[in-house]
Amino acid sequence: MRMRGFTYEVNKHLESCTLNNTTVVIDGHNMFYSMYRTSGLPYALGPESDRFATYIKKYFEIFKKANVNCLIVFKGGHENEDALRIYNETKKLPEVFFKLGDDYGNKINPLLAKDIFLQTLKEMDFKCIVCCRGDIVQECVALARQLSCPIISFNIQYCFYPISYIPLAPGSTFVLDENNNLKCKKFTREKFLKYYKITVEKIILFILLSDTDMFNENTFNIFLYTIGAKKFLINYGCLLEWLHSNNEDQALRKIFEYISGTDRSKFLDEREILQMKLLGKIEPKSYSVVNFINENEFQIEDKDPLWFEKGVYLHHISLDYIDLYYYKIVKGSHLIEDSNADISCLICIDVIKYAYDLLTNFKGDNITLWLDNSTRTENFDGLSIAKPEYIADCCVFERGWDNVKDLLLFEHFLIETFRSFNFDALKRAPADSRMLLIALVFFTRKKVDDVEPEIYSIILSYVMLNVVAEKVNIRVIGKALKIVEKPSLDLITDKDSVLTEDCEIAAAVMRKYFEVSDYELHAIFDLKTVHPLVEFQRCLKELNNLNTLCGASYDATVYSRTYNGTFVYKILCDIKESDNAERFITNMLNPAATVLAFVEGMMRVYKRILYEL
């Protein structure tokens, strides 16, 4: 829904309220798409995962203090393939997007941003609900009506539903009063209708005349000029007064005098859809989030026909797999990457195809990759790899996920892909780094060029965010440190063996790589350098999705403690200038001897797996 300037009308009808010891429904999909932008973090070099997670925690911590139970709803897939196609086309980025610093709103979210958002909310013990294919607005409304609670969202559509709507503005935050009540303002449709003395049927006409997503902005110009409701923009107050002064039949006749027969037919069709939605003619029980809200009753039965929907709801199935499963479509890139190179998701198409084969019991169906938009496609047919050994009528997940890990489906993929895999070497690395190492090996095997500088940069990011940041604040300059050369130590992979004083030194020497000014960003940015890093993020994301689908043999990568795009890119540039990654890292981290020993220990595990040592 797009109604330019209508926010000002809504704001005139807000009333103050407080929230405490209550429940709210949050449109998480809508909130997410504005959140990375409002965080003010750079996006061109990849996600600053740690800082984004901190921003999310700070934003949502206030709900905890007010004891507000948040049910955060996310959009999974699209209602149909046409809706998916329209969505994909609207996300196509203009070439000017690559002029750094231009703000294209929700189009600038880095690849891992949604995963960071979901992981952080889960870490804070918020309940995240995925609506598998339904209209997320309808899902949120049904849930709010079921629970008799308000909806919080940036989406102004909610003001037309019979619920309490708490609107957000980009960059806005909540505050607490002296009693830890969350202060906010709410909008209710009933009071709005009462103020203008109109019915819900007339508000439907109002939406049809105002929503430029539904009709071209100029469709009703002559009509609106005639009744004095438009000059440059629509005067919503004037239009509402006109609707009050005319009954519904009179209003329709007058509107139809000024539009074509085709637009009249569309008007009546859209009116019928809105009547179904806004007059409550769709029963709430038809909505998945209402059906699935009680986890105690939400078990996957033997050969359950709803195994897929329940798998999504229980977070076994990634959001990325919903459109893949229903429409056999993989969405291409909307990211900053080199348009002269292969699209980034091609590097891990085998991972995606194997996931699809598992979900469809290895039927061998064709899947379609939409490249940069839905007009350019590439098809992938046949099976990904040999089918693992299991017995199932419909799908290996038809009985749920309780025993899926025992089937070693993820390990089967690694062995078939690499022909062999050194699982013993992998066990020597910290549990929370194993998926990262698998992704690094997969990425290296898929690349023709030497990627050792990228590997060092990414492992260093993990060490700084996961090991060093656990012991010191990597962004705050502390006491003056004595940085002197130290003897080399034996390689280690035990995080507890890394000394705090070495972490302080590592933080001091590495701090400059965590910051980038606009001027510096313009000076150092290069699509050819960015592209392999985007490819790696694809590998990391898709392999984590597959690992979860296969029963989670390994701990999922916590992105906020693994990958900082600014750090990785900046130190990669310096490593490439040095011409010797190992020597560069050794010289820089030698004063932090145990940190260097840990970095080298991680590199040893990576190389043992890569070269099957």
- Least confident window among 266-275, 335-344, 458-467: 335-344
pLDDT of residue 413: 97
Determine the CATH number of domain 6-195. Answer: 3.40.50.1010
pLDDT of residue 483: 79
- Least confident window among 18-32, 41-55, 141-155, 477-491: 477-491
Question: Residue type at 417?
Answer: T
Residue spans of beta strands (DSSP E) within 381-502? none
Q: In this model, does residue 12 exceed pLDDT 90?
A: yes
- Least confident window among 3-7, 16-20, 466-470, 552-556: 3-7
pLDDT top residue among 290 and 394: 394
pLDDT of residue 547: 98
Q: Taking residues 319-347, report their average pLDDT.
A: 83
pLDDT tens per residue across span 65-119: 999 999 999 988 765 555 555 455 444 444 334 445 554 444 567 889 999 999 9
- Under 8 Å CB-to-CB from 517, ≥6 apart: which residues? none
- How much helix, strand and coil, in percent to the nearest 5, is found in the chain? 55, 10, 40
Q: Taking residues 439-462, report their average pLDDT.
A: 97
Q: In this model, does residue 339 exceed pLDDT 90?
A: no
Q: Taking residues 201-220, report their average pLDDT.
A: 93
Indicate the DSSP class of residue 592: S
Q: In the structure, what pLDDT confidence band is assigned to residue 292 with cuts at 50, 70 and 90?
A: low
CA-based end-to-end distance of the chain = 57
- CATH 3.40.50.1010 domain locations along the chain: 6-195
Tell whether the torsion through CA atoms of 580, 583, 586 and 588 is positive or negative: negative
**What is the C-alpha separation between 468 and 472, in angstroms, rounded?**
6
49: enclosing H helix or E strand? helix 49-65
Q: What percent of the chain clears pLDDT 70, i.e. is strictly above it? A: 89
Average pLDDT, the chain: 88
- Prediction pTM value: 0.91
The answer to whether 19 and 182 are in contact (CB under 8 A) is yes
CA distances from 35 to 32, 42, 59, 93, 130 (A): 5, 13, 10, 19, 18
* Two structure tokens written together for 466: 């996961």
pLDDT top residue among 286 and 299: 299
pLDDT of residue 103: 47
The answer to whether 417 and 543 are in contact (CB under 8 A) is no
Q: CB count, 10 Å around CB of 36?
A: 23
**What is the C-alpha separation between 206 and 190, in angstroms, rounded?**
15
pLDDT tens per residue across span 477-517: 666 677 777 878 899 999 999 999 999 999 999 999 999 99
Q: What percent of the chain clears pLDDT 90, i.e. is strictly above it? A: 67
Three-state secondary structure call for residue 212:
coil
pLDDT of residue 567: 98
**What is the C-alpha separation between 463 and 459, in angstroms, rounded?**
6
**What is the C-alpha separation between 380 and 383, in angstroms, rounded?**
9
- Least confident window among 443-452, 486-495, 509-518, 560-569: 486-495
What secondary structure does DSSP assign to 366-402, as a single string? -EEEE-SSTTSEEEE-S-SSPPPS---SS-TTTT-ST
pLDDT tens per residue across span 115-134: 999 999 999 999 998 888 77
pLDDT top residue among 104 and 188: 188
Three-state secondary structure call for residue 329:
strand
Burial category of 499 from C-beta neighbours within 10 Å (exposed 0-12, middle 13-18, buried 19 and up): middle
Q: Taking residues 348-358, report their average pLDDT.
A: 94
**What is the C-alpha separation between 488 and 593, in angstroms, rounded?**
7
19: enclosing H helix or E strand? strand 15-19
